[in-house]
Amino acid sequence: MGQSRKVLVLTHVYPRWEGDYAGVFLKELVEHFRARQIAVCVIAPHFAGVPTIERADYLEIHRFRYAPAKAETLADAGNMHKQVMRPLGLLKFLLFMISYACKAVELVNREKPDVVFAQWLFPSGIVGWFVSVFRGKKLYVTSHDTDIVLLKKSGLLRSLARLIYRRGTKAFVVSNYLRETALDLDLTTPAKIEVCPMPARTDLFGKQPVFERIPPLILAVARFTHQKQLEVLIKALGMLRDADIDFVCEIYGEGEREAELRTLIAESSLQERVLLKAPVPQAQLAKIYPSARVTVLPSINEGFGMTLVEAQLSGSAVIGARSGGIIDIIHDRETGLLFEPGNAEQLAAQIRSILTDEQLYRTLITNAKKDAEKRFSPEVIAAQYEQALGLALRE
């Protein structure tokens, strides 16, 4: 009889329907656990119109209710921490946490998982700590970005994080930047924290032929937030236009800075060249990346930068700010180009070099695709997590 292996995954973000991009990297990891015959039970918040329970071989997804369906808006939008600052949001969050913890205890008692695997310190790490303490389960936590960044501003959250990390068997972060940040904040010990990114969809990205549009396409896929620094890209594009470089730029995203970015585009007289577009499903992105000569991510302190990996797999040259987890992905002048954060003139020069230097462009896209497949494929990442979680099959 084979070894029984079960993992309970706690997350506040998980794809709600086919094509939903929220938490798609986590779904990819779960699917590869299933392929390795690891039974996975996922707990995530409910969302209007989505079933409360979904079942398949080696997988159950349970979505807990915490409010009337139309009011279940805390998760999946990437702004839970902002909603909680409002009185009604705080009340909703308390109901959210009570429902979350009750569902976790119920499923631990019924499914008896080998490990509890929480995604993000808050809120899932708190629920994981509760279940681990009161049901004696091994706890593992992965931090993706915002949860670590928030700790810089709150002593209370740092204290909670230390409590979670002390209880946990091991802590994961998706980049060396987040590991260094966690250690600088004295959250845990170097021996207990491991860099392990989330997988990219190699089954989807890189399956379309590379082709070039005329004029060449400059692409960005990012939320319209301060962290993403899209204004730096727009300023750089103005410099390229002034240098008579032909291009069109498409920026796919949404967020609170949309009006500000549209104003900057208009003031720079770039309306015909720079287009802000709504987010699209990953299947559609997989067809857009191969047509982009270059994909840019100007973010500061990015937790990882999955869009760069997707672009590398798809045959688009990549440029990123020398900041955060981006430097884990891009080896400068080997698999992409880096520029100093906020330096629009330097970014413009890097874009221009890819648009005009055919040999550099070909070298970058060839090296990058091989590197991304080698380091970020689901098979590689799932095997790394399987070993770290203690779920690897014993001889």
Each residue's pLDDT tens digit, 118-177: 999 999 999 999 999 999 999 999 999 878 888 988 999 999 999 999 999 999 999 999
Distances (CA, A) of 322 to 19, 325, 346, 358: 31, 9, 11, 23
Query: Around Cβ 283, how many Cβ atoms within 10 Å?
Result: 11
**Nearest of 160, 110, 159, 157 to residue 135 by alpha carbon:** 110
CATH superfamily of domain region 217-376: Glycogen Phosphorylase B; (3.40.50.2000)
pLDDT at 230: 98
Listed by start position, the domains of the chain span 6-199+377-388, 217-376
DSSP letter, residue 198: P
Q: If you average pLDDT over residues 195-211, what whole number do you get?
A: 95
Question: 6-199+377-388 sits in which CATH class?
Answer: alpha beta
Q: Which two tokens stand for residue 151?
A: 């700790």
pLDDT at 1: 32
> How confident is residue 76, by pLDDT bands cut at 50, 70 and 90?
low
pLDDT at 378: 93
Each residue's pLDDT tens digit, 281-314: 899 999 999 999 999 999 999 999 999 999 999 9
> How confident is residue 77, by pLDDT bands cut at 50, 70 and 90?
low
> How confident is residue 3, by pLDDT bands cut at 50, 70 and 90?
low
Q: If you average pLDDT over residues 238-266, what whole number do you get?
A: 97
Is there a shared CATH topology between the 6-199+377-388 domain and the 217-376 domain?
yes
Task: Say which residue the tokens 């020398």 belong to.
Answer: 322
Query: Around Cβ 199, how many Cβ atoms within 10 Å?
Result: 24
Q: Which two tokens stand for residue 182?
A: 């966690």
More confident: 73 or 308 = 308
More confident: 84 or 349 = 349
Q: Which two tokens stand for residue 358?
A: 């055919």
pLDDT at 54: 96
Each residue's pLDDT tens digit, 333-376: 999 999 999 999 999 999 999 999 999 999 999 999 999 999 99
**Nearest of 150, 152, 104, 106 to residue 126 by alpha carbon:** 104
pLDDT at 394: 63
Each residue's pLDDT tens digit, 41-61: 999 999 999 999 999 999 999
> How confident is residue 190, by pLDDT bands cut at 50, 70 and 90?
very high
pLDDT at 2: 47
Q: What is the mean pLDDT of the chain?
A: 94
**Nearest of 247, 260, 374, 359 to residue 312 by alpha carbon:** 374
Q: If you average pLDDT over residues 2-25, what whole number do you get?
A: 87
The dihedral region occupied by 358, where left means phi > 0, alpha psi between -120 and 50, and beta the remainder, is alpha
85 has pLDDT over 80: no
pLDDT at 87: 73
The whole-angstrom separation of Cα 198 and Cα 302 is: 14
